[in-house]
Every structure is written in structure tokens, then in C-alpha cells.
């Protein structure tokens, strides 16, 4: 068997492996295809979709705090292995969702949270953080911070506070200012525009804010909780704001919460980006249901036996 034949066989195996791997195709399930705003048209997830490594835009020379880009932009996700309860109970990485394969994402780590930024919607796909009882209060108030663009994003994808001017939408925090009063840098970073989505004022200051307050109460009650939230898009939704109009307006928002104290439990919430007020239990969903809506996998670092149990149940009375 000559070397040319061996090389040909090896190449075919590599091509088959890349093109045929289970979930690498980026195709959505039927349920997710009906619900998810399909921005990537089946492309796999890269930092900048449909660009080779050589073609990717150069990173901006400065970051928000002066740290080098390799440090600030590293992908911090854990793998999906069962890492043992000692890690699961304490590690902040427990909040991080599995890698996305259906939309573009650029993963950015902040002092208080990690986010996945979408270069097409110009919004986060998700924002995740661990909230402890000690972090629910502190000396740093939101008036000490201002909304500002994120220098860790390539300039052509940067969103500016002015993009929201006269849009009819608030600059809605995903990781809220109220969770970041414990540290000056954390408070400043939560005002980066990559942590912001267009929210109607009645939602931002109403039921969404009410759940943020409740999460801080739960963190004080249980010592720590894990939170993931982000926008929801549907195919029919294409409203945009900004000049030029380029920031996509979500039709809704999700939030999932995990508590590991005692018997582990989790709960999900889904909000429409519309005016009005409803009882909190009307927003409740299982984490499994939220995963189907947004086509994401939450809390993948949990042992399967725990993940399957807590994500299938949602009872507000348990909290």
C-alpha cells in the first residue's frame, strides 16, 4: 500500500469526521426552527461566522480594562464531563451553557459574568453568572456607571448607547446593576452594551426587574445561585433599532436559575417583550421547556442524573 493511497484514505476519514459529526451541522430541531430566529442559516458557530481564521477582523488594540485580548476573549467554558460534586457545587462555570452551533458567538468573560455575543443580532445570545449572598449588596451604585460601547468587540459590530435614542426601548440589562454593587469594575462592566438588550420600559422596570430582585433574595436565602438569561427571537421578528437600523429587537426574554443547596432545583421564566404585568407564576417554565424555545443546553456541567431531574420540573413553591 503506497503512501499516496494511505494519505488519501486519511483525508477521507478527516472529511467524514468533520462533515458528519452529530450536532455539528447547525440544523435546528423542528421545535427550535419554529421558535428560534434563524440568523445563521445552518452555519456552525465561530467567532465571526463564515470567515476563515485568516479572514477574521483584527481585534481592537485596546480592551475595556487594558488587559490583553487573549486573556479577555478566551473561551472559558468547561467541557461536558461529570466533574464531580465538589466542582459542581462551587464552580462559577456551572452557569455556562454548552457551546452554540446554530448562531454566531463570541465568548467574553467579565469580572462578574460571562456572555456569548452574537455578531448578527448585535446582542448577547446569553449572559451567565453565579450570584452569592455577599454580592447582593455593596457600596457601588448604578449612578457611578454609564452605558458604553464594548472595545472587546470588533468596531464594525460595536453597539453604542446612542443606538437606543428615541427608539422606544430601554437599555435593558441582562446581568443587572443590582447584582454588581459589590465591586467597582463589576458595576462598570455590567453597563457594557454587550450586556444590554432593547426592552420595553414596562417590562424592564416591571416584571423583569421584580424577578431580578427575587433572584437577589434567593441568593441571600440559599447562599448562591446560578443564573443564565438572554433574548428570544422568532423568524417573523425583524424589527431593528439604531442608526443605521441594525440592533435586533427581541420578541421576548428567558431566565433560568439553578440552586445547588440541599436538594438541587432549577426553574425557568419566559417573558414577552410587550407592555403589561402578570403574576410571576404565569412566566414559569421548566428549564427543559426554555431549552426547546431557545435551542440551548443549560447547566451542561451538571452530572446527567441531576441535570435531567432538575430541568424537568418547575415549581415556584419550591423556592
What confidence tens digit (pLDDT) does each residue in 256-277 have?
999 999 999 999 999 999 999 9
In this predicted structure, the answer to whether residue 58 has a pLDDT above a threshold of 50 is no
Residue 299 has pLDDT above 70, yes or no: yes
Of 42-56, 107-121, 175-189, 237-251, give the lowest mean pLDDT range.
Answer: 42-56
Residue 15 has pLDDT above 90, yes or no: no
What integer is the mean pLDDT of 295-308? Answer: 97
Question: Does residue 24 register a pLDDT over 50?
Answer: no
The 3 state secondary structure assigned to the chain is: CCHHHHHHHHHHHHHHHHHHCCCCCCCCCHHHHHHCCCCCCCCCCCCCCCCCHHHCCCCCCCCCCCCCHHHHCCCCCCCCCCCCHHHHHHCHHHHCCCCCCCCCCEEEECCCCEEEEECCCCEEEEEEEEEEHHHHCCCCCHHHCCCECCCCCCHHHCCCHHHHCCCCCEEEECCCHHHCCCCHHHHHHCCEHHHEEEECHHHHCCHHHHHHHHHHHHHHHHCEEEEEEEEECCCCCCCEECCCCCEECCCEEEEEEEECCCCCEEEEEEEECCCCCCCHHHHEECHHHHHHHHCCCCCCCCCHHHHHHHHCCCCHHHC
**Mean pLDDT value of segment 157-182:** 97
User: Which of 50-54, 123-127, 198-202 has the lowest average pLDDT?
Assistant: 50-54
- Which has more pLDDT, 190 or 31? 190
Percentage of the chain exceeding pLDDT 70: 71
Q: Over the stretch 199-231, which tens digit does the pLDDT of each residue have?
A: 999 999 999 999 999 999 999 999 999 999 999
Active site amino acids: 173
Mean pLDDT throughout 286-310? 97
List Cα–Cα distances, 198 to 107, 152, 161, 230, in angstroms: 20, 20, 11, 11
Q: Is 86 exposed, middle or buried (0-12, 13-18, 19+ CB in 10 A)?
A: exposed
Residue whose grid cell is 480594562: 65
- The answer to whether residue 179 scores a pLDDT higher than 80 is yes
User: What pLDDT does 142 receive?
Assistant: 82
**Would you say 204 is a known binding-site residue?**
yes
**pLDDT at res. 237:** 63
Q: Which residue has the higher pLDDT, 220 or 144?
A: 220
Residue 111 CB neighbour total at 10 angstroms: 16
Q: Check pLDDT > 50 for residue 177.
A: yes
Could you name the CATH architecture of 98-318? 3-Layer(aba) Sandwich (3.40)
All 3 cell numbers of residue 29?
Answer: 430541531
pLDDT at 110 over 50: yes
What does the alpha-carbon distance between residue 131 and residue 211 come to, in Å, rounded to a whole number?
Answer: 14
In this predicted model, which residue has the larger pLDDT, 255 or 82?
A: 255
pLDDT at 23 over 60: no
Which of 232, 227, 216 is closest to 267 using CA atoms? 227
With 50 as the cut, is the pLDDT of residue 72 above it?
Answer: no
pLDDT at residue 234 in the model:
85
Query: For the chain, what is the mean pLDDT?
Result: 79
Which residues are 227's β-sheet partners?
129, 257
| Alpha-carbon span 168 to 166, nearest angstrom | 6
What pLDDT, on the 0 to 100 scale, is given for residue 76?
A: 41
**CA dihedral angle for residue 285, residue 286, residue 289, residue 293, rounded to 10 degrees:** 50
Q: Poorest-confidence range of 21-35, 61-75, 181-195?
A: 21-35
Average the pLDDT over each of 52-56, 103-107, 166-170 and give the range with the smallest value.
52-56
Amino acid at each position: 500500500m503506497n503512501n499516496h493511497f494511505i494519505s488519501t484514505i486519511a483525508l477521507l476519514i478527516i472529511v467524514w469526521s468533520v462533515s458528519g459529526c452529530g450536532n455539528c451541522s447547525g440544523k435546528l430541531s423542528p421545535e427550535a426552527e419554529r421558535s428560534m430566529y434563524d440568523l445563521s442559516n445552518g452555519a456552525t458557530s465561530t467567532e465571526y461566522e463564515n470567515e476563515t481564521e485568516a479572514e477574521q477582523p483584527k481585534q481592537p488594540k485596546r480592551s475595556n480594562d487594558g488587559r490583553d485580548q487573549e486573556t479577555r476573549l478566551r473561551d472559558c467554558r468547561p467541557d461536558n464531563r461529570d466533574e464531580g460534586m465538589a466542582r459542581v457545587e462551587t464552580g462559577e462555570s456551572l452557569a455556562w451553557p454548552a457551546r452554540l452551533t446554530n448562531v454566531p458567538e463570541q465568548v467574553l468573560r467579565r469580572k462578574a459574568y460571562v456572555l456569548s455575543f452574537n455578531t448578527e443580532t448585535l446582542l448577547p445570545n446569553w449572559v451567565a453568572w453565579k450570584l452569592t449572598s455577599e454580592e447582593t449588596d455593596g457600596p457601588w451604585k448604578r449612578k457611578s456607571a454609564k452605558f458604553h460601547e464594548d472595545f472587546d468587540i470588533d468596531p464594525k459590530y460595536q453597539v453604542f448607547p446612542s443606538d437606543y435614542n428615541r427608539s422606544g426601548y430601554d437599555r435593558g440589562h441582562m446581568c443587572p446593576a443590582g447584582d454588581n454593587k459589590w465591586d467597582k469594575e463589576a458595576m462598570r462592566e455590567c453597563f457594557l452594551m454587550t450586556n444590554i438588550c432593547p426592552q420595553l420600559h414596562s417590562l424592564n422596570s416591571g416584571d423583569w426587574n421584580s424577578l431580578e430582585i427575587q433572584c437577589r433574595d434567593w441568593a441571600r436565602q440559599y447562599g448562591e445561585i446560578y443564573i443564565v438569561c438572554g433574548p428570544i427571537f422568532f423568524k417573523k421578528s425583524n424589527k431593528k433599532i439604531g442608526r443605521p437600523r441594525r440592533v435586533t429587537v427581541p420578541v421576548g426574554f428567558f431566565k433560568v436559575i439553578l440552586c445547588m443547596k440541599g436538594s438541587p432545583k432549577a426553574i425557568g421564566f419566559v417573558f414577552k417583550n410587550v407592555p403589561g404585568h402578570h403574576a410571576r407564576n404565569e412566566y414559569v417554565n421548566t428549564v427543559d421547556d426554555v431549552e426547546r424555545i431557545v435551542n440551548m443546553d443549560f447547566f451542561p456541567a451538571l452530572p446527567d442524573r441531576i441535570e435531567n431531574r432538575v430541568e424537568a420540573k418547575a415549581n415556584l413553591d419550591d423556592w
